[in-house]
Structure 1
Amino acid sequence: MNMKEIGKIIRERRKSLRVNQLELSELAGVGINTLVAIERGEGNPKLKTLLSILDTLGLQMTIELKS
């Protein structure tokens, strides 16, 4: 999975919850520009930032061994 795919999942979940980017950034405690970049699959966000956004959206990240 790459940042573009992660960004797409975040954007789709946010929209399904009918939350705008500003609301999500405030709820997750991250900057609006950071959130916009993540949703576009740009940049290299800190893990803490990504986990905060996922948690706010009711999502979690799972790490598995490659098959």
Structure 2
Amino acid sequence: MRDVASIAAGIRSARKDAGITQEDLAHLAGTSVRTVRAIETATGNPSLQAVVAVSNVLGLQLMVR
């Protein structure tokens, strides 16, 4: 669960650094505000597709180790 929390914190930080709201990010990623909130708080079960879409909007890369 630690990795999920780390990803969530990174996405939230990148969104804030970009100066956009959760609503803006949801619109740009083609998902709901509820999904963005779930991703940023590491709650619920957002799809991998949604996490990737949000990450792409923010210019982040998800890597597998």
Q: Which structure has the highest helix share of the two?
A: 2
* Residue of structure 2 equivalent to 1:51: 52
| 8 A contact 1:3–1:41 mirrored in 2 | yes
Residues paired across the two proteins, number: 64
User: Which one-letter code corresponds to 1:36 in the other structure?
Assistant: R
TM-score by length of 2: 0.90
Q: Cα RMSD between the aligned structures?
A: 1.0
TM-score norm. by structure 1 comes to 0.88
Q: Give the 3-state SS of the residue equivalent to 1:2 in structure 2.
A: helix
CA distance in 2, matches of 1:2, 1:22: 25
Distance in 1 (alpha carbons) for counterparts of 2:58 and 2:49: 14
Larger radius of gyration: 1
Runs of 4+ residues deviating >6 angstroms = none
Where structure 1 has 5 or more consecutive residues not aligned to the other structure, the ranges are none
The aligned residue for residue 39 of structure 2 is 38
